[in-house]
Structures are given as C-alpha cells and as structure tokens.
Amino acid sequence: MEAGKPVDSEKKHRLMVQQAYPATLDTPESEASSFVAGTVSQYACQRRTTLNNCNKKFTDAFEILAENYEFRENEVPCLAFMRAASVLKCLPFTIVRMGDLEGLPCLGGEIRNVIEEITEEGESSRAKDVLTDERYQSFKLFISVFGVGLKTSEKWYRMGFRILEEVKADKTLKLSRMQKAGFLYYEDLVSGVSKAEADAVSLIVKDAVRTFLPDALVTITGGFRRGKKIGHDVDFLITSPGLRQEEEVLHKVIDLWKKQGLLLYYDLVESTLEQAKLPSRKVDAFDHFQKCFAILKLHQQRVDTRSCDTSKESDKAEVKDWKAIRVDLVVSPFEQYAYALLGWTGSRQFERDLRRYATHERKMMLDNHALYDKTKRIFLKAKSEEEIFAHLGLDYLEPWERNA
Ligand code: UTP
Ligand code: MN
C-alpha cells in the first residue's frame, strides 16, 4: 500500500500455513507459479540452487546417510543420497507429504522411505542410528584432521583407535607432515573460517601476489564465491594476462610469507600441464594446475571471547592473537582462467553434474582446463564462465545459484 503498486513477494509476506495444507500454498506466489516439478532436471547444472534450503530436515539426514556409505566405501548409494539431497535443495517449498515429490528426479526407492519417515515422524531413525554408530563417529573425528582421509581413518579404526586422543597418545604412529600440522592447529582449523576471516586472508593474498605480479587477477573461489558465510578453507585462483611469469609467483609469495612468519604449513605442487591432453573423463579428477595447500597465520585484532575460567591459565601463557587458516592457492594460465574458475567455484555436486551433462548430453569433455567437442574434434575457447555455459547450451547460473 505504501508503494502504491504491487510489490515483489518476499519471505516476510508469507502466511504461516498449517502443515495439512498442500505444500505449494506455503510458497510465495511468484516462486510457486514459476515452479513446475516436472521440469526439475536430473542435472544440478540445470537447477538454480541457492543457500536457501527449505528442506534441511531431509537433506541433513541424506547427507549423514551418504557420508556413512562413503565411510564404508559404498559409492552407489552414497552418490544416490547426495544427488537426492541436491534435488531437494533447489525446491522453493518444503516437502510436507509424499505427493509433493511428484515429478521430481532422483528420489527413488530407499530415498522415498527416508522421506516418508521424516514427513510422518519428524526425523529419520536410520540417520539417528548412523549418528550413534561407533565407526561413523570415529571416522568423523579422524577426517576432521587436516591430511587425514578415508585410508588413514580406516587404518586407525582397524588399529583399535576410536578418538583422537588415542591416536595422539600412540608415539609409534608415523604421521605425515600434513597430519602433524593438522593436529598442531586442530582447534583453529576445525572451527571453520568466517566470511570476515576469508576477506582478511584475501587482502593478504592479493597484497603478496601483486607485489610480484602487479596485473595479476586474484579471485576468491570455492564456497565463499557461492556466498557461503562459513567454510573449511579459503580458495584462491591466480592468473595474469602477462607472459609466463605466473609460474614464478607462487614461489615468491611463499618466500615472502616465510620471511614474514605467516606460513605455518605449505605443500607446493608443481603444474603438470604439459602432461594434460584431452579433458579428463573422470568426474572427480584432480587438475594439473600449480597449487599450494597452506595454513596461514592470520593475526587478529581481538581474539574470540574466552570464558572467564580459562583466563587464569592464559595469564601465564602468551595470549594467542592469531588463528590458523587453511588456504588453497591455484595458479592457472590466462587462457584457461574461465575453466579454472568454473571448476574451483563448485559445489562438488554442481561440478560432477556439469561434467556428466557435458559427456552425456553434449558429447563434450569438460575439466578444469578445457572443453572438448568430440563431434567437431575441437577445443572450445572461453574467456568467461558465461561463454562456457553457452558452449554447453546451458542457461547461465550465477555462483550463488551453484550451491547444489
Ligand atoms: P572445497 O573443497 O574447498 O569446497 O573445494 P568448498 O565448496 O569451498 O567448501 P568448503 O571449503 O568446505 O567450505 C572448492 C571447489 O574446488 C573444486 C571442487 O569442485 C570444489 O567444489 N576442486 C577442489 C577441484 O576442482 N580440484 C581439487 O583438487 C579440489
Ligand atoms: Mn573451500
């Protein structure tokens, strides 16, 4: 009324509707009317998925079940549950009854049963069982250490370890350099990275890179580019339109940070670009870029608010005014920048489906370096992500719509 005309419908305009009503009544007019379940694609790259998840109750359960399958190296149901979670994340409404699933892909068999139980009981007994499962709990703890994956977790579990204290207490265990750093900075790393911390790291990275490459393009990728407010690390993509000087820049940045005492850990992986030929066929393949997996010391103005009872100990000890942050730096040649950016922005599910779509729907091969058209037998050049979507015949999705 104030505007004197109809305005766009927003969340605050919604009426809270009783659960017994059809779910679509619960959604704003514009979203509900533009949403047709039968048009939801099986490919995440054809679905706009923001961080606004109306079906968290379901997707949380699916992700727990998927992870449990992953820990048991049971890939097929793991992927099925992850795909199902991804489909529900794009819906503009909350599932309240089984009829709401009509026309939606990837929600067959076992998955339907889980949904049914949650709509009826409010929770999934299977997911609850997994959460109390000893193996699941131990694997969760083990993989929370930087440098520990499924293989190591498996080994530790078979050795009888269940909690991290037991692993740490065993002095005969041979830990990798990465795992040692993982234990050393465990508390900081497990607490996650906030957007503010990511922005602070971003300044440090840009500053360092541009000291040596003034015209460098430094872009934050990964979850933060998709609008996430918290992440497990901060990912950066570095390139430069100049000649091949970008090969040296990572070494120089590392040396600078070492001198400044900012580098708590790093692993520099040299580029294997000259070995790369056609785009990789694998859906979850590693790329060939030069990269650095690091832990950076981020100095903070004010340390997090500690509770009073710990202040006695910290009277004696030096007050820690920094936080360890996981940072990934990736350097790409300028011609491959758009592909690298698309590949490193994620989400993982989005990337997986993008490659699957390219292969199965377009007879093309996509990876973090290039797009190859198998019919025309040519590489398709792209200066921007928009051009890559266009090559694939896909509507463009903004980074924040790739939270599949
Ligand atoms: P991350 O593992 O950092 O995920 O990889 P994320 O989405 O930023 O989420 P956080 O960090 O857990 O909050 C970022 C993206 O980079 C790609 C993946 O597609 C992933 O989505 N990636 C990662 C690669 O292409 N290659 C790699 O070796 C690693
Ligand atoms: Mn990340």
The model's pLDDT over 248-260, given as tens digits with 9 standing for 90+, comes to 999 999 999 999 9
Q: How many CA within 13 A on the CB side of residue 176?
A: 13
Instruction: Tell me the C-alpha distance between 180 and 278, whole Å.
Output: 37
- Tell whether 233 is in a known binding site: yes
Instruction: Tell me the C-alpha distance between 386 and 201, whole Å.
Output: 28
Ligand 1 pocket list (CB less than 6 A): 222-223, 228, 231-233, 235, 286-287, 343-344, 346-348, 351, 368
The tens digit of pLDDT for each residue in 129-158 reads: 999 999 999 999 999 999 999 999 999 999
Return the number of other C-beta atoms located less than 10 Å from residue 158's C-beta.
Answer: 8
Phi, psi of 263, deg, nearest 5: -100, 105
| Helices and strands of the chain, counted as H and E runs | 17, 10
Residue 25 has pLDDT above 50, yes or no: no
The tens digit of pLDDT for each residue in 171-208 reads: 999 999 999 999 999 999 999 999 999 999 999 999 99
Q: How many CA within 13 A on the CB side of residue 210?
A: 11
**CA nearest 46: which of 394, 282, 399, 300?**
394
Question: Is it true that the peptide bond before 347 is cis, omega within 30 degrees of 0?
Answer: yes
Residue the block writes with tokens 């000291």: 211
User: How far is ligand 2, taken at its centre, from the CA of residue 387, in Å?
Assistant: 24
The tens digit of pLDDT for each residue in 64-106 reads: 999 999 999 999 999 999 999 999 999 999 999 999 999 999 9
Instruction: Tell me the C-alpha distance between 242 and 244, whole Å.
Output: 7
| Cα torsion through 357, 281, 397, 288, rounded to 10 | 180
- Tell whether 235 is in a known binding site: yes
Structure confidence at residue 33 (pLDDT): 52
The structure's pTM equals 0.88
Active site residues: 233, 235, 328
* Beta bridge mates, 353: none
| Per-position DSSP letters for 80-140, written without gaps between them | HHHHHHHHHHT-SS---SGGGGTT-SS--HHHHHHHHHHHHHSS-HHHHHHHT-HHHHHHH
**With contact defined as beta carbons under 8 Å apart, do 8 and 28 qualify?**
no
Q: What is the mean pLDDT of the chain?
A: 91
User: How far is ligand 1, taken at its centre, from the CA of residue 221, in Å?
Assistant: 8
Domains of the chain and any CATH numbers: 14-129 (1.10.150.110), 133-184 (1.10.150.20), 193-338 (3.30.460.10), 340-401 (3.30.210.10)
Q: List the residue whose alpha carbon is closest to atom 27 of ligand 1.
A: 286
- The pocket of ion ligand 2, defined by CB under 5 A, consists of 222-223, 231, 233, 235
Residue 22 has pLDDT above 70, yes or no: no
Instruction: Tell me the C-alpha distance between 224 and 261, whole Å.
Output: 26
